[in-house]
């Protein structure tokens, strides 16, 4: 499902225009993004959780040159599916 398809579905369910549906989706996604950027987790019951984890620096071999490089530590977003999705 794409963002546009979701906006159309919301527009039909709420009896609003597709443009308003896209605005609703935009607001929701912006708030989710802002929460993740600030390091907060997001829990959506029935769907799952988005969490921010810090990945430690690591040394890996560059596949092209064979040289050992250091990958710096970084924050990554992880999705943990809820029980209903795990059953799929």
Instruction: List pLDDT tens digits, range 45-82.
Output: 989 999 999 999 999 999 989 999 999 999 999 999 99
Together in a domain, 25 and 60: no
Task: Provide the domain count of the chain.
Answer: 2
| Domain carrying residue 7 | 1-40
Residue 30 predicted with pLDDT over 80: yes
Together in a domain, 87 and 51: yes
Together in a domain, 29 and 57: no
Together in a domain, 52 and 85: yes
**Residue 46 DSSP code:** T
Total Cβ atoms within 10 A of residue 65: 8
């Amino acid at each position: 499902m794409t963002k546009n398809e979701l906006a159309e579905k919301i527009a039909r369910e709420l009896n609003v225009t597709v443009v308003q549906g896209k605005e609703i989706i935009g607001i929701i996604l912006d708030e989710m993004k802002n929460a993740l950027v600030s390091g907060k987790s997001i829990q959506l019951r029935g769907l799952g959780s988005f969490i921010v984890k810090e990945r430690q620096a690591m040394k890996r071999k560059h596949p092209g040159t064979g040289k050992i490089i250091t990958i710096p530590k970084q924050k990554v977003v992880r999705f943990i599916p809820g029980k209903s999705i795990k059953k799929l």
